[in-house]
Amino acid sequence: MRICGVEFPGGLIEAHASDALVLFVGAGASMGPPSSLPSFQALVETIRDQSNLGAVIGDVTGRPLDELLGQMADKPHNVDVHKRAALLVGKPDSKPNKLHFAVARLAASKTVRIVTTNFDRHLETAIDQTVPVYEAPALPVGDDFAGLVYLHGRLGQEPRRLVLTDADFGRAYLTDAWAARFLDRMFAGHPVLFIGYSHSDVIMKYLARGLGRAKDRFILTPEPDSALWRQLGITPIGYEITPDGSHENLEQALAELAAMSSRGMLEHQEHVKALVDQQAPSLIPEDMSYLESIISDEQTVKFFTKFAQGELWLRWIAEKEEFRVLFTVATESKPTAWQLATWFAENYVTEEFSRVGLAVATQLGGHLGPTLASAIGRHLVARSMPLSPGIRPWLPLVTRDLQDRRPNFVDFALEKSSAVDDKESALFLFEHLTEPELRLSPGYFNEVFEIGLRGDDYWLRQAWRSVFQPVLPQIASEILAIVDQHIRSADRKLALVEDSSQARRRPSLYRAAIAPSPADDFPGPLGFLVDAARDCLEALLEAEAMELAGQYISSWASSDVLLLKRLALHGWIKRSDVDSSGKLRWLIDTGWLFDDDLRAEVFELIKQVLAQTDVQVANELVVNVAVSTDDRSRRWAFNALTLIAQAAPDLASAQEALAALIAQDPGLAELTATDRQADAEAPQLPTTVEDLRKAIDDDLGSVCGLLQQYEAFDRESTTSRRSDAIRWESFGALVSEVVGERPEDGFAILGVLGSDSTEVARLLIHGWTNARLNIETAERAIDQIVRLDLPSLVPYITQMLAGPASAPDKTTDWRAVPGSMALAKRCWDAIDPDAGMGQRSPDMVSQAINHPAGRLAEFWIAAVSEHWNQRGDNWSGLDSETSNYLKMMLNCGDVRSEMVEVIFAGSLRFFHRADPSWCEEHLLPRLKWDDEARAFRTWDGFLSFGMWTNGLLSAGLLGGLIETVAHLSEFRSDRGRRLLSLLAGIAIYAEYHPGEWLPQFLTSAKPEDRREWANRIAFHLSSLPADGAEEQWQRWMRQYWTDRLDSVPMPLDIDEASAMAQWPINLSTSMTEGVELALRHAARLATPPLVLHRLAEASSEEILRRDPEQIARLVAHILAGTESPCYTAFELPEVLEKLERYGASEASTRDIREQAMRLDIQIS
């Protein structure tokens, strides 16, 4: 970037913008007035003269100055050079000069990092803020520091600490090496800009000895051609000394660079607007250099694209590498590429400037890079169709340069095109998107090539319906030419890569029929082309374009492309210029009768024309079909002759040939006879609830007979027909529905069939499960159920006892039914204790509630609740019988206990309130992690449904929750979120002070868990009134946050700090205090941006009114830590409008606008 005649390299600008640059300042910075301090050589000369050693030391020019000072300090002269130097540099009339202030301002625009070999304190004075100051030899770590470092000491120290003589330099850089260590790490970790040094400075001698690994290094110098810079690996930045010997140009350039670095986004926008509004590029080099930096920065390029328009600005930017790269196909896209590409598309792919845009594209090589091609493609889709002649040339450029990327917007462009108003564009896009491509796909043994179309099948069909079908008669011939070529091309490509006929057959194998067919819901990779060819051919035939249609049919029939042969057959089926006999004669002559690949269309042609065919030709067909020599061809002939016999029942030759074929191979007849017999013998089943009710009322015995057949039907047999299975299952569902409506029908059915019909019993139990039975009917149902085969029915019975999850108010409360507990106990004993034992599912709760033992656990919880309600104030805990039975369920040592543990743990709060001692003895210990499998399943149950009480926390639940934090990765994510939500609620609402347990939680939790917990705290705070949030702030939150900022017990990371940044908005009198704590750590918008969502809610109006200034400071801080671009802050404009309305200061809202601009968030 060119500033005040000085060309600052892009690397230097980027280093400063990224907050990495170190300013390394030498004696030259303090020589100009009003500082007026001597150079190192002048300092040596003054000390020499004051010590009357001129005759001894002589002329110092070009000699090693540090060694001369050492000579003066040594015997016999014993000059106190350190004290003399301190006095000379510390003269009271020396003040900071313009260069000091420029350096200070440049440093202060980012994190201040200055290193100086000067002793004076002028930079310290010039920096208008408090920064850490380090003085030799107590230096910071070189690659991790901020502040001002006096590398060789500073005034105010004991003078002997100043680095002056060769002995001092030796200790600093060689023996003690504290300066060398600092510089080694600093150069390795930071880019550096030297200011105020010349090639003869002493420091350069020592740097030459030790400069190894390093980031970029730059020096501002009036001697840019010195060979020393190249030797040291330093990039010189030249500036001119004025005729009077002043370094004024350096001061101005640094001051302007500092001013530019301090600009906010709004200032950059206004400056760019002022430059670009001139319509023609400025002739001032600095202005153009500034714009070049603007277009190379991802954050600021949007200002150029917002205001720059017209041919002159396009011509200007076409010379810049940042833009030229858009026209380079193989070059990786730069961060600014998309914004520049979109700008070009929107401004120069237009009627007015398309010619200019094409000229620039030609000038830059005639190709579009992927980013530019995508931007133009999207722009074309967004335009209203049809495309004008001036815009159309961009279509082939876009499709050519994106041919290996398949962008969806080209599909959209076809769907939006018009075959009437812009036929050329529509056909071009159609041809492009339907071009077949080879794709390598995995096979069973090795990779295989598959063929596919460039476009998406869905969008192609959408475009076909909306764009082409309405005008198909007019353009069918043009489309058919494209489709014909593409199908042939697909075949050639497959033949190229696979030397087998099977590869060429594959596209046809996907296709059941050329005509529309339900079997072609997935018509294969070339399915769209086949459909398009068929539709176009039919359109030609309907338009009586017989000559052209006939040419295609003949060409396809003579082709060796299988799909084209099938299309030819379809054409013969549809054509009307040849009679039925002619069609059949043609088919016979093709020799295709026994070609399996053509069978669908061959059979369809026979079926369509046979009834109208001359008997002689039909008989000839029969003769050709009946010639069969092996099992395969006989089966094919049998199917064909059957079809012929059905199509022409009076054709005697077909009947005779079929009979002869069956006589030759009787098994052929059996295959079809079996299916016919099954259909004839299938019972007539009721198909509606009304039909079944009537059948039960009219003839219960017949219905029971059908149910016996239902019981006997073999659902697992491979010989059972799918149609039969569907019919029987539908009948069974009807039975359950009727029994649910009329429970007594179930008793009647059991009365006829008895207790051995397990499948029927399942239907009846299912019906009773979904019914609301009165007590008498429910008792009768239980009496019937206990007589059944319980082991085979226990899953259904336990589901009934537990009650369905849906519509519990419409079903029976079985816990109140006498006999239900006895039935539950018998079901328990009937459960297979070994099935699924020890299996650990990621979702133990789902496993438990779908297991008979888990359902029984739910039943017993409901039964205890009913007993408790009945006893009321007289309740004193579980009675001994229930207590012992529940203990038995927990301790039987098989899969049943495992399922009970899961369900009981989910009701921990219920059991602790019902009987605290029993719960603490028999349930709480199961949450301990000494048995990991047991702990996992019980915690899975608790974290699904469980709730805490202060009593449970005291009894050990709190310790268990904290211990479980370390195991969160073992659980499903929703269980983990529940645990963190519980702990957040405990921090807010429980009697326990969070300080007693939070340190253990923090050390056990992963960073993402700590972040989620902080989010949950924010959620709970949002539901509290302001005084409630204040109470929590004073109780624990303020101290907790302060400790965390001090890394107690561990430091915050940015995501956790971002979650905590939501907390202050819920405060009232302490909001300022909370915001100040939030501002002490970097934060950013989360996804989703919860803080903005909270502030945008209507219920947050009072929060915004309470202290809009503090809210604005908080929002600006969070935005400052958010990376660009940000696509989730859509609520920010609304929040900002409210903050301005309620009185936030202009400075605070300006900060928000600055950050919004940086993040590409549109603010009005």
User: What are the pLDDT digits (tens) for 140-171?
Assistant: 999 999 999 999 999 999 999 999 999 999 99
Specify the range with the lowest mean pLDDT, choosing from 450-454, 460-464, 1117-1121.
450-454
Q: Do 532 and 426 reside in the same domain of the chain?
A: yes
The reply to whether 277 and 396 lie within a common domain is yes
Res 588: pLDDT: 94
Arithmetic mean of pLDDT, 698-704: 94
Q: Which range has the worst mean pLDDT, 8-12, 470-474, 928-932?
A: 8-12
Average pLDDT over residues 799-828: 85
pLDDT of residue 806: 47
Q: What is the pLDDT of residue 176?
A: 93
Local structure of 332: helix, strand or coil = coil
Beta strands across the sheet bearing 113-116:
133-135, 147-150, 113-116, 22-25, 192-195, 217-221, 235-238
Mean pLDDT over all residues of the chain?
Answer: 90
Please give the pLDDT value at position 380.
86
Q: Measured between alpha carbons, how far is 800 from 808 in angstroms, rounded to an integer?
A: 11
Domain final residue, candidates 830, 846, 862: 830
Same domain, 21 and 42: no
CA–CA separation, 862 vs 914, rounded Å? 12
Q: Which of 679-693, 779-793, 1074-1088, 1098-1112 has the lowest mean pLDDT?
A: 679-693
329/411 same-domain check: no
pLDDT at 937 over 70: yes
Number of other residues whose CB lies within 10 A of the CB of residue 384 = 6
Has residue 767 been placed in a domain? yes
Distance CA 395, CA 388 (A): 11
Whether 1089 is covered by a domain: the verdict is no
**Lowest-confidence pick of 370-374, 484-488, 505-509:** 505-509
pLDDT in tens, 73-90: 999 999 999 999 999 999
Per-residue pLDDT at 893 exceeds 50? yes
Q: Is residue 782 a part of any domain in this protein?
A: yes
Decide if 1100 is inside a domain. Answer: no
Q: Alpha-carbon distance 1141 to 1112, whole Å?
A: 12
**Boundary of a domain, candidates 367, 386, 405:** 405
- What's the average model confidence in pLDDT over 104-112? 93
Q: Tell me the average pLDDT across 361-390.
A: 87
pLDDT > 80? residue 213? no
- Quick one: pLDDT band at residue 56, thresholds 50, 70, 90? very high
Contact (CB, 8 A) for 3 and 256: yes
Given 386, 405, 424, the domain boundary residue is: 405
Q: What average pLDDT does the segment 470-495 reach?
A: 94
Domain that includes residue 820, residue range: 700-705+719-830
Query: What contacts 1103, CB < 8 A, 6 or more positions away?
Result: 1065, 1066, 1095, 1111
Q: What is the mean pLDDT of residues 1002-1011?
A: 97
Which tokens go with 857?
């656990």
Enter the pTM of the model: 0.66
| pLDDT class of 838 with cuts at 50, 70, 90 | low
- Please report the pLDDT score of residue 378 as a whole number: 86
Which CA distances in Å does 674 have to 668, 705, 709, 716, 1023? Answer: 11, 24, 19, 19, 71
Residue 403 pLDDT > 90: no
Question: Which residues make beta-bridge pairs with 439?
Answer: 450
Residues 172 and 199 in one domain: yes
Residue 645 lies in a domain: no
Q: How confident is the model at residue 445 (pLDDT cuts 50, 70, 90)?
A: very low
CB 816 within 8 A of CB 787: no
Looking at the structure, do residues 361 and 415 belong to the same domain, yes or no?
no
Q: Which long-range contacts (CB under 8 A, 24 or more apart) does 916-919 make?
A: 916/951, 916/955, 917/877, 918/877, 918/878, 918/883, 919/955
**Number of domains within the chain:** 5
Structure tokens at 1022: 């949002």
Stretch 528-554: mean pLDDT, rounded? 95
The Cα 51–Cα 49 span in angstroms is 5
pLDDT-based confidence at residue 444 (cuts at 50, 70, 90): very low
Q: What is the pLDDT of residues 1054-1070, one digit of tens each?
A: 999 999 999 999 999 99
Same domain as 171, residue 310: no
> 550 and 433 in one domain?
yes
- Is 921 part of any domain? no
Average the pLDDT over 409-425 and give the result.
Answer: 84
Task: Tell me: pLDDT of 449 over 80.
Answer: no
Average pLDDT over residues 288-303: 90
Angle at 513 between CA 507 and CA 516, to 5 degrees: 115
Q: Is residue 585 over pLDDT 50? A: yes
pLDDT reading at 590 higher than 80: yes
Closest by alpha carbon to 864, among 805, 915, 916?
A: 915
- The CA distance from 556 to 571, in Å, is 10
CA pair distance 585, 618, nearest whole angstrom = 9
Q: Quick one: pLDDT at residue 810? A: 74
Within a domain: 597: no
Identify the residue with better confidence: 1054 or 626. Answer: 1054
Burial 351-372 (b: 16+ CB within 10 A, else e): eebbebbbbbbeebeebbbbbb
Instruction: Tell whether 210 and 247 lie within a shared domain.
Output: yes
Convert 810-838 to b/e letters by CB count within 10 Å (16 or more is b): ebbbbbebebbbebbeebbebbeeeebee
Residue 476 and residue 330 share a domain? no
pLDDT digits (tens, 9 = 90+) for 846-888: 999 999 999 999 999 999 999 999 999 999 999 999 999 999 9
Q: State yes or no: pLDDT of 718 exceeds 60.
A: no
User: What would the mean pLDDT of 165-180 be, rounded to a whole number?
Assistant: 93
Query: CA–CA separation, 473 vs 417, rounded Å?
Result: 18
Separation CA 686–CA 703 (nearest Å): 9
Choose the weakest-confidence range: 608-612, 880-884, 1099-1103. Answer: 1099-1103
Secondary structure string (H, E, C) spanning 410-430 = HHHHHHHCCCCCCHHHHHHHH
CATH code of the domain containing 203 = 3.40.50.1220
Strands 217-221 and 6-7: unpaired
Q: Reduce the secondary structure of 752-767 to three states and give it as a string.
A: HHCCCCHHHHHHHHHH
**pLDDT tens-digit series, residues 634-669:** 888 888 888 898 889 989 999 999 888 888 888 776
Least confident of 240-254, 444-458, 1055-1069, 1083-1097: 444-458
Say whether both 235 and 297 belong to one domain.
no
DSSP conformation class of 157: B
Distance CA 1125, CA 748 (A): 72
Of all residues in the chain, the percent with pLDDT exceeding 70 is 93
| Tokens 């917990």 belong to residue | 1013
What pLDDT, in 10s, does the model give residues 346-357?
999 999 999 999
As a whole number of angstroms, the distance between CA 865 and CA 868 comes to 5
Q: What is the pLDDT of residue 458?
A: 87
Statement to judge: residues 22 and 161 lie in one domain:
yes
Q: Is residue 791 one of the residues assigned to a domain?
A: yes
Q: Is the pLDDT of residue 1029 over 90?
A: yes
In angstroms, the CA 775 to CA 779 distance is 6
